[in-house]
Amino acid sequence: MEPLGPDLSQALPPLIRNRRAPIKSLLLDQHLVAGIGNIYAAEALWRAGIHPKRAGNRISLARLSALTDAVQEVLAEAIAAGGTTLRDFATPDGSSGYFAINLQVYGRQGEPCLRCGTTLRAETIGGRTTAWCPRCQR
Ligand SMILES: [Zn+2]
C-alpha cells in the first residue's frame, strides 16, 4: 500500500490490529506499507502519542487512525521540504533530505520532549534506532 494513498487510514489500521509485532517494526514493514523511512516512523509515533514498542494488536483503531494521519502529515511535510522520495534519502548535493523536516524526536534522545519536557529515550527496535518520550507515548 502506498503511504500517501487516500485509503491508508481505512486500510492500514485493520491490518496492524492483526499483528503482534511492535508498531515501529510494522510501520517499516514494506509488505504492509511502502516507503516509510525509519526517521519518519519515529516522528509519526511521537505525534500520535504511541509507544514504538506497543504491539500492533494492542492499539485501538481510533489511535491507529490518528497514527496514519500523522504518517501522512510527516511525509507530506518531507515532500514539501524538498524530498524526492519517501525513504530516508539523500539530495543531489549529498546532504540528507530528512534534515529538511523539523525533527521533533528522532536523534534527540537525552534532550527534553518538546511537548512535555520529559527526557527522551532511545533504543534499537528491529535493528533500527528509535527515540521516544516515555511520558507522552503509550
Ligand atoms: Zn513528552
* Percent of the chain predicted with pLDDT > 70: 86
Give domain status of residue 115, yes or no: yes
DSSP-derived 3-state class of residue 70: helix
Instruction: Check which CATH number belongs to the domain holding 42 and give it.
Output: 1.10.8.50
Can you give the pLDDT at residue 2?
80
Give domain status of residue 45, yes or no: yes
Give domain status of residue 39, yes or no: yes
From the CA of 116, how far away is ligand 1's center (Å)?
4
For residue 76, give its domain range: 8-132
Q: State the pLDDT confidence band at 52, using cuts at 50, 70 and 90.
A: very high
The half-sphere exposure of 74 on its side-chain side, counting CA atoms within 13 A, is 31
From the CA of 47, how far away is ligand 1's center (Å)?
10
From the CA of 133, how far away is ligand 1's center (Å)?
5
Q: How many distinct structural domains can be found in the chain? A: 1
Quick: pLDDT tens for 11-50: 899 999 999 999 999 999 988 888 788 888 999 999 999 9
- Res. 120: pLDDT tops 70: yes
Give domain status of residue 83, yes or no: yes
Compute the mean pLDDT over every residue in the chain, rounded to the nearest whole number. 86
* Percent of the chain predicted with pLDDT > 90: 57
From the CA of 129, how far away is ligand 1's center (Å)?
18
From the CA of 121, how far away is ligand 1's center (Å)?
10
Give domain status of residue 138, yes or no: no
Mean local confidence (pLDDT), 96-125: 86
The half-sphere exposure of 100 on its side-chain side, counting CA atoms within 13 A, is 22
DSSP for residue 100: G
- Answer positive or negative: Cα dihedral of 82, 33, 72, 44: negative
From the CA of 94, how far away is ligand 1's center (Å)?
33
Give domain status of residue 3, yes or no: no
- Res. 94: pLDDT tops 50: no
- Res. 92: pLDDT tops 60: no
Residues 6 or more apart in contact with residue 138 via CB below 8 angstroms: 49, 50, 51, 54
Give domain status of residue 137, yes or no: no
Quick: pLDDT tens for 75-88: 888 777 765 444 55
Give domain status of residue 2, yes or no: no
From the CA of 111, how far away is ligand 1's center (Å)?
11
From the CA of 93, how far away is ligand 1's center (Å)?
34
From the CA of 134, how far away is ligand 1's center (Å)?
7
